């Protein structure tokens, strides 16, 4: 992946419910990816830690309670990476200085957030829908904030996703024809 910044980390695994270039709008619009059987890799894809269970336990013990989730069907734990589609950022003047109000606080404005990178295995930009079960490498950063009212929060910011092996997304998967005999047996 390109544009690697300080604090950037990489995780490889099986992706489900990826919304990388177009945000998921079910609740608050977010870019997101759920990674099952995560393994820690470097930016070249070389394995650093392949013990998925201890990787997930590490995130749990470090307080990433909103980033470690449990699949309702399989009861399997996975890591949830996301990036809000809209964020509040300080306004800047023409010279790049933050604008402040009369009390000295920054003047904030809601703006579009950066769209995560989406690359193929050869590091070329791609624009495809990613099917569940695709083998991917996630580029992410850990973040932490404190809210005076609700306490500390930690999360995993989805900076990019590289598709190592694509499982094609099929939006037409639905019900198939069922005979009356099969319904009666049920």
97 with 184: CB under 8 angstroms? Answer: no
pLDDT at 176 over 80: no
Single pTM value for the model: 0.81
- Reported as a pLDDT band with limits 50, 70 and 90, residue 6 is low
Residue 180 φ/ψ, nearest 5 degrees: -65, -30
Mean pLDDT, the chain, integer: 88
- Residue 79 has a CB neighbour count (10 Å cut-off) of 23
């Amino acid at each position: 992946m390109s544009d690697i910044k300080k604090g950037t980390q990489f995780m490889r695994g099986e992706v489900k419910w990826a919304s990388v270039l177009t945000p998921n709008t079910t609740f608050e619009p977010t870019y997101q990816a759920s990674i099952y059987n995560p393994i820690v890799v470097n930016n070249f894809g070389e394995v650093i830690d392949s013990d998925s269970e201890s990787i997930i336990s590490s995130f749990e013990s470090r307080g990433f309670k909103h980033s470690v989730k449990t699949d309702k069907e399989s009861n399997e734990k996975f890591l949830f990476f996301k990036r809000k589609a809209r964020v509040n950022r300080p306004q800047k003047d023409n010279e790049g200085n933050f604008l402040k109000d009369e009390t000295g606080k920054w003047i904030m404005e809601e703006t579009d957030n950066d769209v995560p990178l989406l690359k193929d295995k050869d590091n070329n930009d791609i624009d495809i829908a990613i099917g569940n079960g695709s083998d991917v490498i996630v580029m992410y950063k850990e973040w932490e904030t404190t809210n005076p009212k609700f306490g500390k929060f930690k999360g995993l910011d989805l900076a990019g996703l590289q598709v190592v092996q694509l499982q094609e997304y099929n939006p037409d998967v639905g019900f198939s024809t069922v005979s009356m005999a099969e319904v009666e047996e049920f």
